[in-house]
Structure 1
């Protein structure tokens, strides 16, 4: 039974992360802010209007990198402290105060990128010759030149950053602070409900009556906030469209894909191929779930139910170490040292508590170690999620060791490849350690229901919906709750066809994800998993040489665009073949589930 969540003050310290690695005390945090404020003022005094030759450009970049080195841990501490308890007044006030300070600092620093971007290309190229370390950064500045605005406009936009970023904060506040869920009732018995308990428990509840009742109660509460959330989202969309137009992009898609170093064809292909070619396989999976669970009809509220809930092992945090370490050992000693440290030094916040951000993420502030947020429920899914986030951690752990601040972060298109790679390594390890049909079915169903469903279905359907939203915005339109509901329902119906009933509430799924405040992010999950699926198959067949190639990719950070990083790992994402191969692989996994179910239970699908 899902329990009510405790307040943050009641959770065990060993299940929380240790932010003292960023700042040991609040006084140290405040002193760091004063220090960076003074540093920024001195930097502006020294370099504003004075970047006139290659030497002064390199010196200015050095100074700017040093400032970022001071700002990053401050921002990380501020955001991480708030993410574990959005109800904490001190954390809220600290975040609000730093937001204002960061806006002011951003305004003071805006001259740097503006003035350096306005320098002649010949001067920037000369600076590259003087400093190979900053070559990638300077090349990117040249690439951005056509879309830079007047320095005063850039400064104004920087000064308004806290206001321009307000929609995301408002979304989180509405979702995690204001939205309170009542208990729901089944046969006279009441059960507690929250965002975390629904997404981490009730959505996968094997008892159909409880699962569907939780679904109805959860979406009834979402519906009460749909108009506020829609207005918040429209603010975000109008901001993005306005800035896109100001900078001279042809479409908002071009604006949002620019920093990903991806063209529109790669973006559209990812959505179109999966919507068309994966859908039949997933409908077959839905029919399998319906048959096994003897459901009167297959509804949207049933899609997350485990294929064999009775076989699902409960996993403690301590027990997760064995699975994680054995699965990722192939990555080598340095990688495993990172994994061990993550447990020993409390890099991960496992606790479940009121006000904690939903889902999971990895924050990797440059200059210190990564931090992982997860709400541990004790299911095997948590092991896959933790492996996923450790994939992000391992990526930046490697990149930060080999690249400077400017070169460490790759395109968003590639960002989910290292994380989903670790999920594949866990799955491959589990499959290689047993011939038992029930265990094999459980592992494969975990891959399909979690790794691929999450990345190739949940997030991909977000992407297909998001594309329709931006097409509307690009045409000069706006959105409200009714528009968003209709667009979301249409995408769900297109993908699932007549095989799944899209019951009431499903159209509100757009309210559940923060990804819409992060640009064209949702489609990158399937892009990353396409890459990692192909690389994991290489590792299975080739062993250490493929691992070494992958580690070099991680170490390369953001020094190459995603197509080149993928090519380093042996995958050509400029063609549709890797995606087609991955879709076929998913189809093969589902076929195996059908065969295993027929063998184990005598059920014919």
Structure 2
């Protein structure tokens, strides 16, 4: 049964992450922040106006890399401390202090790219030849040249960077600090409700009355904050549109996709094909859930339930490690050592407490080990969630060791491939471990309901909705709660058709996702899973050679484009074939669930 969440001060130490490898105390953090500001001043004095030839360019970039490496742990610490308890005043102040100092530093350092781009391109090309370390950095800089503004404008925009990121902070404050949920009542009994408990427990609650009442109570509270949240989101959108116009991008989509290094056709293809061709398979899955649970009607509040709740194993944190070790063993001893360290050295924050960020994420600071946030409820499907985040960890564990600080991070388009890859490896391992129809059905339903539903449905429907929002913004319009609700409802109705009733409250789902403050991020989940589905099939069929290729992809970090990284792994994303194959594979999984359900009934 769901319990009320404790304050952060009452959770067990072993369930929390250990941030001391970043900073041993807040005092040490503040000292390092002051030193970084001094370092930035010295850097500006030493190199502003002095970069004239390849040797001086290389000297400046070497010093800049050193400075940037000192910024990373500060940024990470400020973010992670706040993410575990957004009600903590000290964490709020620390995060704000970092934001304001980081904006000052960013403004001071803006001269670097401005001055480099005033140099002849041949000079920059020569610097690349003399130092391969900075080739990728300079190539990306040259690519941006046509969108670069006057140095004084760049300096001013950089000074406002913390203001431009304010909508995201305001969204989180509204969601995690101000929004308080009352208990809800079913059959004369009272039940606690919170963001974490709804998304971690109530959404998947087998009892229909409890689940639907929790959904209604949760939605009613969201509704109280819809206008503030919509205004916050519109601030974000208008800032992005203004930046896009100032820099001279043709559309806001071109601006937001620029750093992803993919053509807009890849973005549109991902949304259009899935909306059209995956929908029939997922409607069949919804009907299967409805029949399995004997529901008179299938509503939006019922979509996250397990196909067989009686067969939902519970699992402890300690037990999860065995499953993950066995599933990821194929990745080799170095990868497994990282997994082992993540448990032993407390890289993972498992605790459930008030004020903690919802969902799960992995932060992988350069020069340190990764950190994973998850709120562990004991459901077996969280093995998939943890494997997903360890996929991010494994990616940057490899990339950060192989590449310099400028070259480690790949395009956002590719970022979810290594994470979803691990989910596929867990699924493939579990499928091989038993022939019992009930167990097989549980595993396949976990793949459909967790891996594919989450990444190919939840996030993709966000992307389809987000595209409609940006189309409005790009045409010079704004949004409010009513408009956002209408757009979200329209996308849900288009995808689910008459298979699912889009009940009141479903349209407010746009309020639950922080991804909208991160550019065109939601569609990249399905893009990454398209790549990892194909690579996981290669691993099943070819074994070690496919694994070796994948490890090389992880090590490559950001030195190649998403198309090139996928090619290294044997997948051609310039065509729609990998996506069509993945959609067909999901259809096969749903058909297998229908077949296994019939078999189990007969027995």
Is the pair's TM-score, using the shorter chain for normalization, greater than 0.5? yes
Classify the secondary structure of the residue corresponding to 1:346: coil
Deviation at 1:483, TM superposition (A): 0.3
Any idea what the Cα deviations from partners look like across 1:430-457, whole Å, max 9, x if unmatched? Answer: 0001000000000000000000000000
Q: Which residue of 2 aligns with 1:565?
A: 565
Q: Which residue of 1 aligns with 2:17?
A: 17
> Structure 1 stretch 223-232 or stretch 108-117: which is displaced more?
108-117
Q: Which residue of 2 aligns with 1:537?
A: 537
Any idea what the Cα deviations from partners look like across 1:512-554, whole Å, max 9, x if unmatched? Answer: 0000000000000000000000000000000000000000000
Q: Which residue of 2 aligns with 1:299?
A: 299
Q: Which residue of 1 aligns with 2:119?
A: 119
Please give the residue correspondences for 1:519-558 in structure 2 after superposition, counting only pairs within 5 Å. Answer: 519-558=519-558
Please give the residue correspondences for 1:43-442 in structure 2 after superposition, counting only pairs within 5 Å. Answer: 43-442=43-442
Partner Cα distance (2:118, 2:515) in 1: 33
Deviation at 1:28, TM superposition (A): 1.6
Moved over 4 A (4+): none
Partner Cα distance (2:292, 2:192) in 1: 28
Classify the secondary structure of the residue corresponding to 1:407: coil
Question: What runs of 5+ residues in structure 1 fail to find an aligned partner?
Answer: none
Partner Cα distance (1:515, 1:288) in 2: 30
Deviation at 1:380, TM superposition (A): 1.0
Deviation at 1:118, TM superposition (A): 2.2
Any idea what the Cα deviations from partners look like across 1:465-524, whole Å, max 9, x if unmatched? Answer: 000000000011000000000000000000000110000000000000000000000000
Classify the secondary structure of the residue corresponding to 2:498: helix
Classify the secondary structure of the residue corresponding to 2:362: strand
Partner Cα distance (2:572, 2:248) in 1: 31
Partner Cα distance (2:165, 2:89) in 1: 20
Deviation at 1:602, TM superposition (A): 4.0
Classify the secondary structure of the residue corresponding to 1:262: coil
Classify the secondary structure of the residue corresponding to 2:117: helix
TM-score (norm 2): 1.00
CA contact (8 A) 1:118 1:145 kept: no
Partner Cα distance (1:117, 1:196) in 2: 47
Classify the secondary structure of the residue corresponding to 1:359: coil
Partner Cα distance (2:253, 2:210) in 1: 41
Classify the secondary structure of the residue corresponding to 2:34: helix
> Structure 1 stretch 133-142 or stretch 22-31: which is displaced more?
22-31
Question: What runs of 5+ residues in structure 2 fail to find an aligned partner?
Answer: none
Partner Cα distance (1:299, 1:126) in 2: 62
Deviation at 1:145, TM superposition (A): 0.5
Deviation at 1:113, TM superposition (A): 1.5
Partner Cα distance (1:414, 1:127) in 2: 28
Any idea what the Cα deviations from partners look like across 1:271-302, whole Å, max 9, x if unmatched? Answer: 00000000000000000000010001000000
Classify the secondary structure of the residue corresponding to 1:498: coil
Partner Cα distance (1:291, 1:516) in 2: 34
Deviation at 1:324, TM superposition (A): 0.6
Partner Cα distance (1:469, 1:306) in 2: 32
> Structure 1 stretch 365-374 or stretch 134-143: which is displaced more?
134-143
Q: Which residue of 2 aligns with 1:497?
A: 497
RMSD: 0.7
Partner Cα distance (2:139, 2:163) in 1: 30
Partner Cα distance (2:448, 2:5) in 1: 29
Partner Cα distance (2:26, 2:487) in 1: 46
Partner Cα distance (2:23, 2:182) in 1: 38
Q: Which residue of 2 aligns with 1:511?
A: 511
Q: Which residue of 2 aligns with 1:445?
A: 445
Deviation at 1:50, TM superposition (A): 1.1
Deviation at 1:26, TM superposition (A): 2.1
> Structure 1 stretch 1-10 or stretch 24-33: which is displaced more?
24-33
Any idea what the Cα deviations from partners look like across 1:18-73, whole Å, max 9, x if unmatched? Answer: 00010112222122112211111100001111111111111110111111110100
Deviation at 1:119, TM superposition (A): 1.7
Partner Cα distance (1:257, 1:453) in 2: 24
Aligned length in residues:
603
Partner Cα distance (2:96, 2:30) in 1: 14
Classify the secondary structure of the residue corresponding to 1:362: strand
Alignment of 1:465 onto 2:465:
yes
CA contact (8 A) 1:313 1:379 kept: yes
Partner Cα distance (2:26, 2:482) in 1: 45
